[in-house]
Amino acid sequence: MKIGIPRGLLYYYYFPLWKTFYENLGFKIILSPETNKSILDLGVKTCVDEACLPVKVFHGHVEYLKDKVDFLFIPRHTSLSYGEFTCPKLCGLPEMIINSITKLPKVIKPDFNLHGKNINIDKTIKEMIEPLNINIKQARLAFFNGLEQIRIHKEKVFKEFHFKYHSKRLLVLSHPYTLYDSFINMNLLKKLENMGYLVITIDNIEDIKINYYAGKLPKKMFWTFGRQLIGSGLYGIAEKEKIGIDGIIYLSSFACGLDSIIADYIERQIRRRNNIPFIQLIIDEHTGEAGLNTRIEAFTEMMERRKLYDSNFSSYGKCIYRS
């Protein structure tokens, strides 16, 4: 029996859990390929126009997989953390797909909901095996094996990053599915790496720092990614020397509701302090890279110059070079 997993959205965080779970139970996982132009085109064709780019891309992955598998795994991530929610598009993802794409195989749509005090993991596990005729005890064991795989994966990523030393650093703020899908982000991370930068993301910053700075908002941020992005951004602004970053790039998707608030908030904070170069890059389904390349080049060049000539930096266009 084959279970199809679309390579999109929270695949970038939870795939080790899903893969271990179904493979431990004897199923074959069919993963859609890395995002490419034809997957994007399929997504644009099937998804509603108003959706953001990562959701459109997810539709493309589903369309690619639907005739190749017996079941499709489309999780609903209502909440990733106590007292918080995800974006409404992640909460309603299975319904979006079911109502936009025809001739789907049976859809497995468990709800991952860590919002309340009494989390019902058993309910989620049952939903993960609902159409599969599997013993719940076996499924529980497979689920906890999957959680262990996530822990190992996170630890590896954390260690690999924190042992790296680099003199040129940049903070790149973005949602994981935009950050780690190199087709969606037009290979931004690789481009920055080739320019000699070490890229820091929300996943490389300790929770304690993120929560401390996100806690400075007058009201609790109730979106998990919102908290992580705000916390990381404010941390970058306040402790830029300690972290050693030269600038901040906010990479957002056109039509993302969260980013329209968060990126603007971070930009205003930076304008008030005027202490770190910042750029917001907005991507959509257009695939021409020239616009993005030009902006990155201009931004990094400006950062380099500012680093060299900061004490003689004119805000009104006078020559920045020392006489």
Residues 189-228 that bind ligand SF4 (CB under 6 A): 225
- The answer to the question of residue 80 lying near ligand SF4 (CB under 6 A) is no
**Please, which residue, 160 or 284, has the CB nearer to ligand SF4?**
284
Minimum distance, C-beta of residue 167 to ligand SF4, in the bound complex (Å): 32
**Please, which residue, 9 or 142, has the CB nearer to ligand SF4?**
9
- The answer to the question of residue 264 lying near ligand SF4 (CB under 6 A) is no
- Say if CB 148 and CB 21 are below 8 A apart: no
**Please, which residue, 27 or 225, has the CB nearer to ligand SF4?**
225
Distance CA 151, CA 174 (A): 22
Using alpha carbons, list the distances in angstroms from residue 288 to 102, 250, 292: 30, 19, 8
The count of chain residues that interact with ligand SF4, using the rule CB under 6 A, is 13
**Please, which residue, 29 or 255, has the CB nearer to ligand SF4?**
255
**Please, which residue, 47 or 238, has the CB nearer to ligand SF4?**
47
Minimum distance, C-beta of residue 253 to ligand SF4, in the bound complex (Å): 5
- The answer to the question of residue 61 lying near ligand SF4 (CB under 6 A) is no
Strand partners, 79: 113
Using alpha carbons, list the distances in angstroms from residue 145 to 28, 79, 80: 17, 21, 19
For ligand SF4, the binding residue among 89, 109, 191, 227 (CB under 6 A) is 89
- Say if CB 97 and CB 107 are below 8 A apart: yes
- Say if CB 24 and CB 255 are below 8 A apart: no
Minimum distance, C-beta of residue 184 to ligand SF4, in the bound complex (Å): 10
For ligand SF4, the binding residue among 258, 262, 292, 303 (CB under 6 A) is 258
Minimum distance, C-beta of residue 54 to ligand SF4, in the bound complex (Å): 5
Map tokens 């971070």 to a residue: 266
Letters for 147-186 (x = contact with ligand SF4 by CB under 6 A, - = none) are ----------------------------x-----------
For ligand SF4, the binding residue among 4, 54, 75, 146 (CB under 6 A) is 54
- The answer to the question of residue 55 lying near ligand SF4 (CB under 6 A) is yes
**Please, which residue, 245 or 249, has the CB nearer to ligand SF4?**
249
- The answer to the question of residue 104 lying near ligand SF4 (CB under 6 A) is no
DSSP string, 64-75: HHTTT-SEEE--
- The answer to the question of residue 254 lying near ligand SF4 (CB under 6 A) is no
Q: What is the residue type of 243? A: I
Strand partners, 200: 171
Minimum distance, C-beta of residue 242 to ligand SF4, in the bound complex (Å): 29
Distance CA 221, CA 208 (A): 15
> What strand order describes the sheet that includes 2-5?
28-31, 2-5, 71-73, 106-108
Distance CA 7, CA 15 (A): 9
- The answer to the question of residue 52 lying near ligand SF4 (CB under 6 A) is yes
Biggest CA-to-CA distance, the chain? 79
Distance CA 200, CA 100 (A): 36
**DSSP H helices in 93-187:** 93-100, 121-129, 136-162, 176-179
Binding residues for ligand SF4, rule: CB under 6 A, are: 52, 54-55, 87, 89-90, 175, 225, 253, 256-259
